[in-house]
């Protein structure tokens, strides 16, 4: 019985590690974003500490914006601070391998890992 519990625990912990490995978004992503001014391209750069995200979003005419976010299973939430506007902008979506996509208050967004 003790041996069986050890095997079950090892398999469970191994599976948990594999799932956690698949949730890495750290690095640079190419961004496509709907805005009130039309479609916009840019980049997202993430640093990741477990489910906590930090980094920058860079888009033309705005520049680099600091971002924070969280990753929970395949769900991602990213909040950016728009410079000079003292406004926050949030994108919610899902991660699927090297792609992520979702919605904002202005429309849709998507990103592909570079």
> What does the pLDDT look like over 18-58, one tens digit per residue?
344 558 999 999 999 998 889 999 999 999 999 999 999 99
b/e string for 10-24 if b means 16 or more Cβ within 10 A? eeeeeeeeeeeeeee
Number of independent structural domains in the chain: 1
Q: 61 and 112 in contact (C-beta within 8 Å)?
A: no
Binning pLDDT at 50, 70 and 90, where does residue 61 land? confident
Question: Is residue 70 domain-resident?
Answer: yes
Number of Cβ within a 10 Å radius of residue 75: 13
Whether 1 is in a domain gets the answer no
Which domain, by its residues, includes 77? Answer: 25-113
Once rounded to an integer, what is the mean pLDDT over residues 70-99? Answer: 92
Q: What is the pLDDT of residues 1-25, one digit of tens each?
A: 555 434 343 434 443 443 445 589 9
Task: Determine the Cα–Cα distance for residues 76 and 104; give it in Å rounded to an integer.
Answer: 12
36 in any annotated domain: yes
CATH number at 100 reads: 2.40.128.120
């Amino acid at each position: 019985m003790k041996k069986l519990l050890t095997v079950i625990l090892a398999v469970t912990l191994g599976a948990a590690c594999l799932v956690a490995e698949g949730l890495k978004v750290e690095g640079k992503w190419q961004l496509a974003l709907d805005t009130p001014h039309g479609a916009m391209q840019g980049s997202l750069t993430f640093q990741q500490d477990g489910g906590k995200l930090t980094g920058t979003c860079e888009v033309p005419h705005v520049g680099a914006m600091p971002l924070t976010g969280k990753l929970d299973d395949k769900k991602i939430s990213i909040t950016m601070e728009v410079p000079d506007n003292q406004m926050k902008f949030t994108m919610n979506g899902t991660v699927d391998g090297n792609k992520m996509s979702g919605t904002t208050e202005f429309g849709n967004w998507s990103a592909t890992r570079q």
